[in-house]
Amino acid sequence: MEYRKLGNTDLQLSTVTYGAFAIGGNMWGGNEKQDSIAAVHASLDQGVTTIDTAPFYGFGLSEELIGEAIKGKDRSKIQLLTKFGLVWDGSNQGKGEYFFDASADGKNIPVYKYASKANIIKELEESLKRLGTDYVDLLQLHWPDATTPIDETMEALDTLIRQGKIRAAGVSNYSLAQLQEAAKTIQLASNQVPYSMLNRGIEQDLVPYTIEHQIGIIAYSPLERGLLTGKYFRDAALKADDHRNGYFGQFSADKVKAFLDSITPLAKNKKASLAQLVLRWTTLQPGISIVLAGARNAEQAVQNAAAMNVQLTTAEIGYINGELEKVYSGQAV
């Protein structure tokens, strides 16, 4: 495994980071507790020391599973990344910005974006309890909240750093303008944003800014939630309540398949899976600090970590980029 410094902090994170959205179960067709814990254990065994989660993932379940999985482990060798700012339990008392209705146990649950100082403090205490720790390595705003001034949110994060409850502060899904506004109050460690072979919009303005200002980019959905593994063009099927039934619709299946077919020989030559080749390519792009890769079981976790064993030459990266250019239109293909 390779480890990288995050932004201007002293955090050293595993380049492949365990993404814990799917083990929360909601929006992913459920989960199996023992498989989820085994996936975390396997990740740690393979040198994946960094785990990214959020209260919203499974309405607290993802954090609880991680807390159980790392119990008894050396906390100083594990980096816990979590978030705040998505409220679903009504504790916001009507404040914040309505986001969407999440489905759980056949019910629709309204979710709000809410990033007030009081809510940040409340959510962090709840996360610490679920995770079974007294500090978080990186606390991130999950989604921008238009009803809370950015400086209020950033001042709260700065206070938590000074209190020692978090080691660093980050954001997720922030635009360039929002990063620039936040910079008036705090030096952020990172911005977690969607980035993949099929979604490269951040390369235009966000990546140059973050490189210049020493802000790390945490790439989520590098495999486009499994689409770039190629298995959904074979025999994999999605459960009815899996959000990817709609998510995959934004892409041209024919174009994606043609691209994957074009790089399959390279993957085979490297004795790697398509997923491993795609993950490795993503880690080698300018400005990308770490990439998130989810795993529902130990086998998937081991395969994700092994992506770092794939060696790509400049010529091979150029070949992949050339094949992408045939189908890439500036947006998701």
Whether residue 258 lies inside any domain: the answer is no
Residues labelled as active-site residues: 57
Mean pLDDT lowest for which of 57-61, 185-189, 237-241? 237-241
E strands, the chain, are 3-5, 12-14, 16-19, 50-52, 79-84, 86-87, 97-104, 107-113, 136-141, 166-172, 190-194, 216-220, 288-294
Summarised one tens digit per residue, pLDDT across range 7-38 is 999 999 999 999 998 886 554 444 578 989 99
**Domain extent for 93:** 3-251+282-310
Q: What is the pLDDT of residues 168-177, one digit of tens each?
A: 999 999 999 9
Q: Can you give the pLDDT at residue 28?
A: 43
Q: How confident is the model at residue 135 (pLDDT cuts 50, 70, 90)?
A: very high
315 in any annotated domain = no
* CATH number of the structural domain spanning residue 162: 3.20.20.100
For residue 233, tell me if it sits in a domain. yes
Is residue 239 in some structural domain? yes
pTM reported for the whole predicted model = 0.92
Structural domain count, the chain: 1
323 occurs within a structural domain: no
Distance CA 85, CA 140 (A): 9
Q: How far is CA 217 from CA 24, 49, 311, in A?
A: 23, 18, 22
